[in-house]
Amino acid sequence: MTTYTRIDSPDAPEPQGGYTQALAVEGASKLLFVSGQIPETREGKVPGGFEEQCRLVWAHILAALRAADLDVSHLVKVTTYLSDRRYADVNGAVRREILGDHRPALTVIIADIYDSQWLLEIEAIAAL
């Protein structure tokens, strides 16, 4: 049986914004590496606003998890690339809504995204 243990050391800053410093995974029988998901539909359409793009990216991640018979509770690491730090609050709010009480390890990076229409990209690792 896979167990997930949050590790938040008292010797490091307390996690803010819905993540944990580290997440220990024991007994995993499956690892899923979700490539960077982009805010584009299968038809090549990119929503104009950040929140819509963020929700679309999370929909792609959820679809990959479902295809592997997993769900958000199996996420152990999420890396988000934002095109601008002004999107941080909305990004965090959408992520917390999607993940509920689950707190994977998390990294947010401000980066020059591959396509100028894309305001973010998210990659993830899940374990079962």
> Which of 124, 85, 99, 86 has its CA nearest to residue 19?
99
| Rounded Cα–Cα distance for residues 31 and 125 (Å) | 7
Query: How far is residue 124's CA from residue 77's CA, in Å, rounded to a whole number?
Result: 6
| pLDDT the model gives residue 63 | 96
Supply the pLDDT for residue 20: 85
Task: Indicate the range of 17-26, 91-100, 104-113 predicted with least confidence.
Answer: 17-26
- 105-110 and 75-82 strand pairing: parallel
**Whether residue 17 has pLDDT greater than 80:** no
Give residue 18's pLDDT: 73
Quick one: average pLDDT of 50-77?
Answer: 97
Q: 56: which residues sit within 8 A by CB, 6+ positions away? A: 39, 40, 41, 47
Mean pLDDT of the region 89-94: 98
pLDDT at residue 14, rounded to an integer? 86
Instruction: Indicate if the pLDDT at residue 9 is higher than 80.
Output: yes
Say what the pLDDT of residue 78 is.
98
Average pLDDT, the chain: 95
Average pLDDT over residues 41-69: 97
Helix (H, G, I), strand (E, B) or coil at 87: helix
CA distance 126 to 71: 8
Strands (E), the chain: 3-7, 22-26, 31-37, 75-82, 105-110, 120-127
pLDDT at residue 15 above 80? Answer: yes
- pTM of this structure: 0.91
Note the pLDDT of residue 16: 78
